[in-house]
Amino acid sequence: MFHRSERLLLRPPWPEDWSQVLGGIADEGVVRNLARAPWPYSPEDARAFVELPIAFDYPRFLITRADDASLVGCVGIDPLDGDVELGYWIARQHWGQGYATEACQAVLEVSQTLGHGRVVASHFLDNPASGRVLEKLAFQPTGRIVERHSCGRGEAAPTAEYALSLGEGALLQAERRAA
């Protein structure tokens, strides 16, 4: 599955993408904000990641710039305890340029098209930038702070949980906030 936004092309990872994935994520400042990525992140981790099967109803995309195909990061949804969880990472050199918001908005559109009615997300408390992305996307804080294990940190850390209903008008509201 592919999806195009204003500046980005979201596409599935291919085996030959492993070195670009490694170049973008093998940064402790990126990995420490993720639950599932290990630190240090190795070439074998990148190869295994790009070879993972992708379920049609839970897509995972590489985020690439539409103008030059350079890798920006990764975004996708996964099942989580009966919910649909949004997750993403952005390579450090692309931080602060609005790519996370734009890519996540695109994945929310895909999620709604796939029939998902609600999406959840969380961020580690020491990563408030991800909280700002979620708020721009109209996610609402649930009020829950829970400990979540981070493979990159090697321990659990507190996370703030959010939820978004993908009902009619929700994505339009998110688009207005993100603009």
CA 137/CA 175 separation, integer angstroms: 7
Q: Give the per-residue pLDDT at 179.
A: 59
- Please list the rounded mean pLDDT of every run of 10 residues in the chain (179 residues): 96 98 97 96 98 97 97 97 96 97 97 95 98 96 97 97 83 56
Structure-derived torsion over alpha carbons of residues 80, 85, 91, 96, reported in degrees to the nearest 10: -150
* Whole-number pLDDT of residue 167: 78
Topology of domain 3-178, CATH: Aminopeptidase (3.40.630)
Q: How much is the pLDDT for 177?
A: 57
- Rounded Cα distance, 36 and 114, in Å: 24
Listed by start position, the domains of the chain span: 3-178
| Pair of tokens at residue 143 | 């009020």
Beta bridge partner(s), residue 149 = 156
Nearest to 172 by CA among 108, 119, 116: 108
Q: Residue 134, Cα to own-chain centre: how many angstroms?
A: 10
Give which of 136, 68, 52 is closest to 98, Cα–Cα.
136
Q: What is the pTM of this model?
A: 0.92
pLDDT at 162: 98
- 124 touches 159 (CB < 8 A): yes
pLDDT value of residue 171: 56
- According to the model, what pLDDT value does residue 71 have? 98
